[in-house]
Amino acid sequence: MAEPKTSRPFYRPQAGGELHCGGVSLESLARRFGTPLYVYSANQIAERLAMFQQALAGRDHLVCYAVKANSALAILKLLAKRGAGFDIVSGGELERVMAATPEAAGRVVFSGVGKTAAEIDAGLKAAILAFNVESEAELALLAARARKLKIRARFALRVNPDVFADTHPYISTGLREHKFGVDIRRARAIYRSAAKDRWLEAYAVSVHIGSQIRSADPFGAAIARVSKLAMQLREDGITLKAIDAGGGLGIDYHDGAFDAAGKVEEYAEALNRALGEFDGRLLIEPGRFLVAQAGALVTRVLYVKRNGKKTFVITDAAMNDLIRPALYQAHHEIVPVRPRAGRACVVDVVGPVCESGDFFARDRKLVPVEPGDLVALLDAGAYGMVQSSNYNSRPRAAEVLVEGAKARLIRRRETMADLLATERV
């Protein structure tokens, strides 16, 4: 089987053989670095970025990777070297970008509903591209900090277009009842008011309607409303240089064919149509689409336990390592690294954390596994490591980046000394 180019990078060179990432077997990585272990494909991350860049090649654009999806310094550096910008939502994420690739500061947009004065100051001093402002109160604070530091602040008002996106309610952000952005009907007046402040520069208008959205239609609907606003502002003498379309393009977490390049083309076409006469720069903020399918969580089976009619596969990874199934009831394909012969049976795949919610799959058909076997939880490159915790005093996993036939450790496994270092008795 050839290594896939547009779907998952995890494959078996021979039918029924051992699972690989690039030219490296996951079994060898588990021996070398232990489990639980996050494994990422550098090649696929680069390919996914290139898909957006190529699809938008006919328009001035910047792909700003959503750092919250996976903030590993090595991944940030990998993307920056290929021309990506960054969408951040905290001062900590700004620090990560500056640590990994300080030369990319001018390609950073700062989103998030609760920026502090200290975070705003850090963004101003770093000379970031723009602040995506989420409220009138935040805009007033941005103006005050810019005045104090004597640094003119570029901003985009994040508007709420009241567009429904068919996704999980926890990651839908484009309706009026959500905490994000300002009502698009108020935006024109806010821009007019801001134009009177010499320390503010209206750079763009921003929108983000949610995450894991599989259809291009909601993106087009949102951008059509934002583009109309930009044209109205031009009539008011306020010429925006950019429109920020946000992120949210989804992937397929289930087993099956997924045409990533086709999805990106469809998305780009929807945005280009909706932008209409707007001829400024387009910013987009993909996160999950770039890194989710590039990553897997490799874990070892500890026990196979039968309780009445139920069979439990207990692994050394737990909800503290990957919380998405417990938090969102999210689906991740689970595959053995080295498959055994035999008929699949229905099992629950669970971790050792002392919570009934500590599961990766319930009532899932899985081929036979035995204690000591390795299994891989696919599509774990986004919102896996970044949402991990030390619950039950469990050290967080190590991370490995695979580039072709080479693998390197990009985050060592935590130790108990790390966990205890900040505490005092």
Q: Catalytic residues, which ones?
A: 354
| Identity at 391, one-letter amino acid code | Y
Instruction: Please enumerate in sequence order all residues whose Cβ is within 8 A of that of 377, keeping only pairs 6 or more positions apart, or say none.
Output: 296, 297, 298, 299, 317, 322, 332, 333, 334, 360
> What's the CA gap between 346 and 321, in Å, rounded?
23
Is the C-alpha dihedral spanning 247, 249, 253, 258 positive or negative?
negative
Sheet bearing 20-21, strands edge to edge:
10-11, 20-21, 24-25
> What's the CA gap between 160 and 351, in Å, rounded?
39
Helices and strands (H and E) in the chain: how many: 12, 21
What the block records as the tokens of 39 is 């494994």
Tell me 360's DSSP state: E
- Dihedral pair phi/psi, residue 419, rounded to 5°: -65, -35
Q: At what angle do helices 260-275 and 217-235 cross, to 10 degrees?
A: 30
Contact by Cβ (8 Å): 382, 291: yes
What the block records as the tokens of 10 is 């995890």
> CA dist 17 to 9, 297, 334, 337, 400, Å?
15, 19, 16, 8, 22
| Identity at 137, one-letter amino acid code | A
Tell me 157's DSSP state: E
